[in-house]
Amino acid sequence: MRSSRTTVGIHDLSFATTEFVLPHTALAGHHGTEIAKYHVGIGQRAMSVPALDEDIVTLAAAAAAPVVARHGAERIRTVLLATESSVDQAKSAAVYVHALLGLPAAARAVELKQACYGATAALQLAVALVHRDPAQRVLVIASDVSKYELDSPGEATQGAAAAAMLIGPDPALVRVEEPSGLHTADVMDFWRPNYRDAALVDGPTSVTAYLRAVEAAWTDYREHGGRKLDEFAALCYHQPFTRMAFKAHRHLLNVLGHDPDPDGIARAVGPTTAYNSVVGNSYTASLYLGLASLLDQADDLTGRPVGFLSYGSGSVAEFFAGTVAPGYRDHLRTAAHREAVARRQPLDYAGYRALHEQTFPVDGGDHPVPPQTTGPFRLAALRGHKRIYEARSEQRSVRTAGQ
Ligand code: CAA
């Protein structure tokens, strides 16, 4: 089933995260929770917290700007932005990002949604577009801010980040393979009605639904001629919290009657968790922060197959494989990724809570947003029900979007 057509896949991968970070020690102190529950039980040490003037658009533009700077904008004819924390019901966040990055007018720009799965749909659409016309490049961006109610069980799993990928022929990082294993099931495990800021979740149901989807997507993958599990050098699972990736792999090994040896699970999954354990859940970006972590941390993976399990509540899952390209290490952004995580300013609990509780006026007036972020793009104002974005003045060319 693996195709002998042009190889297409991930040519570049860059992620960005927020201005602020809340260490789980601060959350544990507030709740009187043993820190081991966070560090060990869910595998999280810190969560990214957006500044007032950051959102999915500013994060997406920050993630994608280095990709456009390295490869140029000329061949990008499609921008696909996946998110489940959208800022508008009609206008796609991709159009704002297209403007902020100065991409060619002769392009399509669209937003996609299916919870944390959206970016994988975007990636597969992008691969198909490039197969149709290998002269084109597709910019795929996953960008999300995960927000649960204060003091809820989900609170400790919040986070925020964007991952940008350039999809093209003869990719420098990962060749995306056929087939895919697919699974859709109507489950109310996690959702966010349009009138709500924070997601609703049935935690235990969501964990069970995720594990069932892993099993079903894997079964479909194998039935369509996919690789055997022991062929994979590593497995990237969607990481709502990093311990979930370990649980998912253990579940798959159990279902297949393989030995769920903890050391083997740690080898297969551990290198994918470094960024997510300190960023938190970035929803649809999380799988691709997992890939960034793997490529940045692991020993040489040249020519090795990697498995990807994408899960989006509601629910849709996809299992697919990619092969790591020769010379990939020359194209990584390891230093920039580590800097994106290290540069965040720590918040105390009160600072985090104030940001969490902040809401913007909805009266259509002129409301400048106080400058907080030191990132390359910011939400400058809400004016006449429009979101006004700008590149910060340190950027070489100042652009705006939404005016
Ligand atoms: N030391 C070590 N471990 C500890 C501990 C301690 N002191 N105290 C608790 N733990 C362990 C528990 O044993 C448990 O581990 P197991 O699951 O392996 O048994 C783990 O820490 C979590 O403990 P609880 O189940 O008691 O935690 P909780 O009630 O606070 O809820 C949660 C956990 C359901 C994941 C909750 O954080 C939540 O609702 N999160 C949001 C939903 C979510 O992320 N779901 C994942 C699947 S859905 C998805 O993937 C889509 C998406 O992105 C949202």
Give the whole-angstrom CA distance, residue 205 versus residue 345: 34
Give the model's pLDDT for residue 399: 64
Tokens of 380: 């400058």
- HSE toward the beta carbon, residue 49, CA cutoff 13 A: 26
Tell me the whole-structure pTM to 2 decimals.
0.97
Q: How many other C-beta atoms can be found within 10 angstroms of the C-beta atom of residue 162? A: 33
Nearest CA to ligand 1 atom 19: 41
CA of 21 from ligand 1 middle (Å) equals 21
Active site residue 236: no
Q: How many other C-beta atoms can be found within 10 angstroms of the C-beta atom of residue 52? A: 17
Question: Residue ranges of the alpha helices (H) in 298-386?
Answer: 334-342, 349-357
Helix/strand/coil for 94: helix
The residue from 238, 249, 318, 337 that is catalytic is 238
Give the whole-angstrom CA distance, residue 170 versus residue 6: 7
CB-defined site of ligand 1, < 6 Å:
34, 36-37, 40-42, 116, 153-154, 156-157, 189-190, 201, 203, 206-207, 210, 238, 240-241, 244, 281, 283, 311, 313
CA 359 to centroid of chain Cα atoms: 24
Give the model's pLDDT for residue 152: 97
Give the model's pLDDT for residue 394: 59
Give the model's pLDDT for residue 63: 98
The residue from 19, 98, 111, 116 that is catalytic is 116
> Which of 85, 144, 157, 237 is the best mutation target for the ligand 1 pocket, counting ligand atoms within 8 Å of the beta carbon and taking the most?
157
Give the whole-angstrom CA distance, residue 361 versus residue 347: 24
CA-closest candidate to residue 387, choices 110, 159, 93: 93
Give the model's pLDDT for residue 397: 46
Are the C-beta atoms of residues 355 and 20 closer than 8 Å to each other?
A: yes
CB burial class (10 A; 0-12, 13-18, 19+) of residue 33? middle
b/e code 105-122 from CB counts within 10 Å (16+ = b): eebebebbbbbbbbbbbb
Atom of ligand 1 nearest to the CA of 155: 37
The residue from 84, 155, 177, 215 that is catalytic is 84
Q: Along the 403 residues of the chain, how does pLDDT read in single tens digits?
A: 444 578 999 999 999 999 999 999 999 999 999 999 999 999 999 999 999 999 999 999 999 999 999 999 999 999 999 999 999 999 999 999 999 999 999 999 999 999 999 999 999 999 999 999 999 999 999 999 999 999 999 999 999 999 999 999 999 999 999 999 999 999 999 999 999 999 999 999 999 999 999 999 999 999 999 999 999 999 999 999 999 999 999 999 999 999 999 999 999 999 999 999 999 999 999 999 999 999 999 899 999 999 999 999 999 999 999 999 999 999 999 999 999 999 999 999 999 999 999 999 999 999 999 999 999 999 999 999 999 999 997 554 446 777 6
Task: Give the 3-state DSSP-derived string for 119-180, with helices as H, strands as E and coil as C.
Answer: HHHHHHHHHHHHHHCCCCEEEEEEEEEECCCCCCHHHHHCEEEEEEEEEEECCCCEEECCCC
Give the model's pLDDT for residue 225: 98
203 contacts: CB under 8 Å, gap ≥ 6: 153, 154
CA of 161 from ligand 1 middle (Å) equals 21
CA-closest candidate to residue 157, choices 117, 199, 114: 199
Residue 13 — φ and ψ, nearest 5°?
Answer: -145, 125
Atom of ligand 1 nearest to the CA of 41: 21
**Residue 366: what residue type?**
D
Give the whole-angstrom CA distance, residue 65 versus residue 97: 9
Strand order in the sheet with 400-401: 366-368, 377-383, 386-391, 400-401
